[in-house]
Structure 1
Amino acid sequence: MDSKKIGAFIAVNRKKKGLTQEQLGERLGVTNKTISRWENGNYMPDLSMLEPLSKELEITLNELLAGEEIREEESAARAEKNLISAIDYSVKKIKNEHKKISVCIMIVGILICIFSFSIFEPESSWGEIYSILGCLLITAGIFRELRAMSLLKRILVGAGAFLLLIGSFIAADFVGVSEYKRPPGYRYSTITYFTKGKIIEYRNLFYHVFQINADTPNEYFIIDTKKEYGVDTVPVSPFNRDKCGIRQIIRYQSNYIGDNSNIGNLFHALPLSERGYVFEIDSENCGATIDYHTTDWYGNEDLYTEKGLIYNSVSAFALIRNLEYIRYNFSGSSYVITRKEVEQNYPEYHQVVNGQKIDEEAFDEYVESKMNEDEFVKTVFALFEKQG
């Protein structure tokens, strides 16, 4: 059906009847804007309105659908043609309405997915629940649009679309976990342990994530893609491993202490730097002095200061080949340690540093993990000479 032609025909016959758009609308129970849209050809009257409209305009239904006057001898032939056009129009309108519903369902699903990631924190499982709901709605919209297919094909295509959507979200979630160091949004289990500090384990179908030192300044994440760690075997350090672990600080390895920038960057990456400090280099005697801006007992829960000084000293001696001593100054107290004391008395030091090479695995075992053993820390800290 030609909506422009029909609209113009409605306008002509309305004027013949001496009716305004508002008057015709009142008689039909619609607004004058609706009449205007019909006459402009922007919209077609609903099927339920065709008969009342033709009666008000005193034209036949056949003429209304044709958009012109029809002679009596042509009436039968034109009626069949108009009927076919009306059926086609109805079918198209139903399809369009069906499509609008499907699109609306998919849009709602997309909005729910967007809100699930933007509103809820990764620690909350609600983001996962709502994103799955959004994917189900998107899939439902796709399923509705495939009604021309057989039921089996619709189910297969719908299931494939759902898995593709969920797979994309899980992949994006993994990128967020690995790049931004956060808990996974998609997980089936969350377990909190209080063994070596607070550890939270997040279990995903494809990998596990450990949040070590959770909710502390030294928090860090370990992504276990092989699912090889448990709470008793996952590498745990009292410090932020992502900042001061051997794989991060080995970049500052040098044969000479004279590079102030390198020494500064090294101690900035090591524990206790968060307390604020300045440093001096004794080039003549190959030593370094670190002046911290706090007392030695400040924030010293669980021997944190002693652990920091031991870790910093072993790391610095291992990385800077000609460094001979380090003095740590706090408000009111100083601690001095020499390379000789460390090399002769620190357990397994020569497995950590073998000639010019640092064994990263041995460092993890004999330095990093040992910081969790209080008796070990107390024994090694006795090597430091306290002054003041």
Structure 2
Amino acid sequence: MKNKIIIVLFIIGIILFGWMNLFYIPAEEKAMEEETLQQLNPETHDFSKVLAYENMYMGNATNNAQLFQSLPLQNYLNGYEQDSKIHLLIVNYKDLEGLPQQHIQKSIIYNTTAAFVLIKNLEQIELRFPTESFFVKRENVERFLGDLEELLDPEVFEEKVQSPLNNAVLEEWIVQYTSI
């Protein structure tokens, strides 16, 4: 009798193990994969996931790196430089070949806005790509969007930054951000 119970429990264990491998684990992996893809896109990125990188000072290089590793274009990063004296962060990117220009422009707007919202004394960001660079100043972003402190609320960030990216004339937005 004892052996029959052990055999039945063993068979139930195998069935449960098989069920988890067939249904539960793949569904969980698929959900994680979908979330990762959403975080790569400025239209679907979840801003609340980067709030942990809010910092008063840009001198924390690890924090800055982790922030940009959590934003769109993260898989194209190619190093960072910073000059704390003039509050400048330089983010280098690899070749973006194959990415649509609109995706790149939306990411530039999204990433620089997020950085200025989260890093309080950051004044300038230069995004360097192999063929061009974009130099964005905090004052331009503030002139365009108003008080950046309000954008700490993910719903406000989505309303004022993320949602308008879908309808905006991106070239005009980039010009506003990068004008001297």
TM-score bracket relative to the smaller structure: 0.7 to 0.9
Give the structure 2 partner of residue 25 of structure 1: none
Q: Deviations over 1:9-58 (max 9, x none)?
A: xxxxxxxxxxxxxxxxxxxxxxxxxxxxxxxxxxxxxxxxxxxxxxxxxx
Alignment match of 2:138 (pick from 339, 353, 363):
339
State the distance in 2 between where 1:326 and 1:367 align: 18
2:83 aligned with 1:282:
yes
Match of residue 367 from structure 1: 161
- CA distance change for structure 1 residues 384 and 365 in 2, over 3 Å: closer, same or farther? closer
Identical counterparts, % of pairs: 22
CA change 1:310–1:249 in 2 (3 A) is same
Normalised TM-score (structure 1): 0.39
Aligned to 1:292: 93
> 1:270: Cα distance to partner?
1.8
CA contact (8 A) 2:144 2:177 kept: no
Give the deviation of 1:342 after TM superposition.
Answer: 0.8
| SS of corresponding position for 1:218 | helix
Deviation at 1:254, TM superposition (A): 2.0
Structure 2: where are the runs of 5+ without partners?
none
- 2:69 is the counterpart of 1:252: no
Q: In the alignment, does 2:19 pair up with 1:116?
A: yes
Query: Could you tell me whether the CA contact under 8 Å between 2:126 and 2:135 is conserved in 1?
Result: yes
Post-superposition CA distance 1:260-299 (Å, at most 9, x none) = 222222222222121122122122322111121225xx23
What CA distance in whole angstroms lies between the structure 2 residues aligned with 1:266 and 1:281? 14
Is contact 2:81-2:91 (8 Å) kept?
yes
Residues 303, 374 of structure 1: 8 Å contact kept: no
Counterpart amino acid of 2:52? Answer: R
Instruction: State the distance in 1 between where 2:6 and 2:86 align.
Output: 76
Corresponding residue number in structure 2 for 1:305:
104
Q: Is the 8 A contact 2:79 2:93 kept in 1?
A: yes
Equivalent residue, structure 2, for 1:353: 149
- Please give the alpha-carbon distance, in whole angstroms, between the structure 1 residues aligned to 2:157 and 2:178: 24
Structure 1: gaps of 5 or more residues: 1-95, 125-176, 184-210, 221-236
Report the alpha carbon displacement of residue 302 of structure 1 after superposing the two structures with TM: 6.8
For residues 64-87 of structure 1, give each alpha carbon's deviation from its aligned partner in whole angstroms, at most 9, with x where no partner exists. xxxxxxxxxxxxxxxxxxxxxxxx
Q: In 2, distance between residues paired with 1:302 and 1:217?
A: 21
Query: For the structure 1 residues 111 and 294, does the alpha-carbon distance in structure 2 shift closer, same or farther, using more than 3 Å as the test?
Result: same
Is the alpha carbon distance of 1:270 and 1:342 closer, same or farther for their aligned partners in structure 2, counting shifts above 3 Å? Answer: same
| Aligned match for 1:322, one of 111, 117, 121 | 121
Question: What RMSD over aligned residues (CA atoms) do the two structures have, in Å?
Answer: 3.4
Q: Distance in 2 between matches of 1:360 and 1:112?
A: 43
Following superposition of structure 1 onto structure 2, how do residues 158-307 of structure 1 map, counting pairs within 5 Å? 182-183=30-31, 214=34, 218-219=37-38, 238-239=41-42, 245-295=46-96, 298-301=97-100, 303-307=102-106
Q: Please, what TM-score do these two structures have when normalized by structure 2? A: 0.77
Q: CA deviation at 1:341?
A: 1.1
Alpha-carbon contact 1:337-1:383 (below 8 Å) kept:
no
Deviation per residue, 1:163-202 (Å, 9 max, x gap) = xxxxxxxxxxxxxx7xx6655xxxxxxxxxxxxxxxxxxx
Q: What amino acid is the match of 1:364?
A: E
Alpha-carbon spacing, 1:111–1:289, altered in 2? closer, same or farther (3 Å): closer
What count of residue pairs does the alignment treat as equivalent?
A: 178
- C-alpha separation between the residues in 1 aligned to 2:9 and 2:121? 66
Instruction: Give the 3-state SS of the residue equivalent to 1:383 in structure 2.
Output: helix
